[in-house]
Amino acid sequence: MNFVDPAFFLLFLPIALLIFYAAGRLGGGQLAAMAYGLASVVFCVPFGWRFVAVTLGSMLINGVICGALVSDRPGPSQRRWLLRLGVTSNLLMLGLFKYIPAFTTIRPIGAVAPILLAWVPITISFMTFQRLVLLVDCYRRDPPAVAMIRKGRGGAVWFVAFTMGFANLLIGPIAFAREIAPQLLSRRFGRVRLIDIEVGLTLLTIGLFKKLVIADTLGTDMVDPVFKAIASHHAVLGIDACVAIPAYYAQLYFDFSGYSDMALGVARMFGLRLPFNFNSPLRATGIADFYRRWHITLTRIVARFLFQALSLRGARLARRRKWKGVRRSLFELWLPLTINFLVIGLWHGAAWTFALFGLVHGTWYTIETEVRSWPSFRNWSRRSSDRLRTALGQMVTLIPLALTFALFRSGTLGDYRRLLMAAWHRLPVSAAPPNTQVVHSGQWAELAAAFAIIWLLPNAMELLSRYRPGIVTFAVPSHTPRWLALRWRPNWLWGVFVALLMVCVLRMCGYSTPFVYGGF
């Protein structure tokens, strides 16, 4: 079951909400949390009993270790061993079910890979990272994590609700205990609030519209035919290749941000506010600005637990060896940034395309960081206007990002090379004759409309800002034109708008494709 399945939003979700609020009225927040946790288990059942067994087994192991970490019995050394055990068990599970099947060319692994893929048919990366973050919070005895797990005899109920919550179980966003635990433990949890239902339903509808009406249309009409032809070593027309690159950039945004809006909406219907995962990333004015807007919850976790640790070690090493200049920057900033982005790339899967994607973004981020530290750049920034800096930043950011995400979409480095050759009208000699043109005049209008929405209209975070639809992680400037800075209100006019979006969704729900990030 997933969010775009009509059985989910027309049957499962209404029933789960009715049971949740009935449980909250009869037994308070703890019984409501139990209903939410049980609904999450039911949500996983369509993926097969093996996936349910892996998910619950992982939850049980992490629950036992988290409970021991927040108790008073283990000493410092025992707590360190418990943390290592928890981190190792989670990473082993992630490696077993996600990365080992990628090495199918190795004979023993090739025989086992189909079995592993049958056990976990969808992503477990988000779920694993969510539990790893909670383990670290418990080790550090972060007060919200401790309060959630040690809440009387019902600590297990709150733990299950946090780690198994189906709103963000499969494709995020990844939340910290300090963000969710206070909401779960609040006296208001499980109580009916009309504004939660209204905001949540609006977010869910916007997300469904992004995914089904925009992302899937772009993918079917402009992206998939070109990339499939490239993968089959068929030549494609240069115009089709040039359109497929930005079209995939837009498709990926609407697909993943649409899912994130749905997750925010579903959680809000249950009275929970999740952290935002997107904040108009395609309006970014640089690679640093992009990663404050794109996949925000993954960015902050990798930066917190990997980059900061590596940078601190590099700074200590440079200070101990009395290094300065290039050598100090290399160990204190450049290498940590490169490793940070390499991990972000490989997090998506064990492929050379993902590794190169991470290395390119890491190198780009490093160069941009150094350029922004130059006195001449700072002087220019002080003298120039915000509008000029924004326009120039977006211009120099758009094309490189679109090209690197085309690498992200390509199956192999060879496919990416053929795509670029086609885009430059230099088709490989060995390619089959080109197919007819894929992109027609009506599809050009679709692509233009998609980028108009991206660049001009307020995102879901801005649209519903009066009602706090989610938790803001990074504060970034809004580039929405003032005359289009619309704000949602719970009135009949916006109700009609949301109803029209839902009509469009229902017309398209039979033609949905899997989420792009569903395989990561």
Res. 499: pLDDT tops 90: yes
Q: How confident is the model at residue 357, as a pLDDT?
A: 95
Q: How confident is the model at residue 107, as a pLDDT?
A: 61
pLDDT band at 97 (very low <50, low <70, confident <90, very high): confident
Q: Tens of pLDDT along 472-490? A: 988 899 999 999 999 999 9
Q: Final residue of a domain: which of 192, 220, 247? A: 192
| Domain membership flag for residue 25 | yes
**Cα 182 versus chain centre, distance:** 23
Tell me, yes or no, whether 165 and 287 share the same domain: no
Tell me, yes or no, whether 233 and 182 share the same domain: no
Nearest Cα to Cα of residue 212 among 510, 508, 516: 508
Q: Tens of pLDDT along 256-296? A: 999 999 999 999 999 999 999 999 999 999 999 999 999 99
Question: Above pLDDT 90, what percent of the chain?
Answer: 71
Q: How confident is the model at residue 72, as a pLDDT?
A: 82
Tell me, yes or no, whether 173 and 215 share the same domain: no
Tell me, yes or no, whether 206 and 188 share the same domain: no
Q: Final residue of a domain: which of 192, 224, 248? A: 192
pLDDT band at 430 (very low <50, low <70, confident <90, very high): very low
Q: Tens of pLDDT along 47-72? A: 888 899 999 999 999 999 999 999 88
Contacts of residue 13, defined as CB under 8 A and 6 or more positions apart, other chains included, come to 266, 269
Tell me, yes or no, whether 159 and 63 share the same domain: yes
Tell me, yes or no, whether 186 and 204 share the same domain: no
| Domain membership flag for residue 188 | yes
Task: Render 175-219 in DSSP notation, one character per residue.
Answer: --HHHHHHHHTSTTTT---HHHHHHHHHHHHHHHIIIIIIIHHHI
Tell me, yes or no, whether 223 and 304 share the same domain: yes
The structure tokens 């206007």 sit at: 385
Res. 520: pLDDT tops 80: no
Res. 429: pLDDT tops 50: no
Average pLDDT, integer, range 72-84:
90
The helix (H) or strand (E) run that includes residue 230 is: helix 224-231
Tell me, yes or no, whether 214 and 137 share the same domain: no
Tell me, yes or no, whether 319 and 463 share the same domain: yes
pLDDT band at 120 (very low <50, low <70, confident <90, very high): confident
Q: How confident is the model at residue 173, as a pLDDT?
A: 94
Total domains, the chain? 2
| Domain membership flag for residue 1 | no
Q: Say if CB 223 and CB 62 are below 8 A apart.
A: no
Q: Say if CB 480 and CB 457 are below 8 A apart.
A: yes
Tell me, yes or no, whether 203 and 333 share the same domain: yes
Domain that holds residue 216: 199-519
The structure tokens 């290399």 sit at: 330
Q: How confident is the model at residue 519, as a pLDDT?
A: 65
Q: How confident is the model at residue 433, as a pLDDT?
A: 53
| Domain membership flag for residue 297 | yes
Q: Final residue of a domain: which of 153, 169, 192? A: 192
Tell me, yes or no, whether 369 and 489 share the same domain: yes
Model confidence, pTM: 0.93
The 10 Å CB-count burial string (b at 16+, else e) for 234-258 is bbbbbebbbbbbbbbbbbbbbbbbb
Tell me, yes or no, whether 294 and 441 share the same domain: yes
Q: Tens of pLDDT along 12-36? A: 999 999 999 999 999 999 999 999 9
Q: How confident is the model at residue 106, as a pLDDT?
A: 60
Average pLDDT, integer, range 241-269:
95
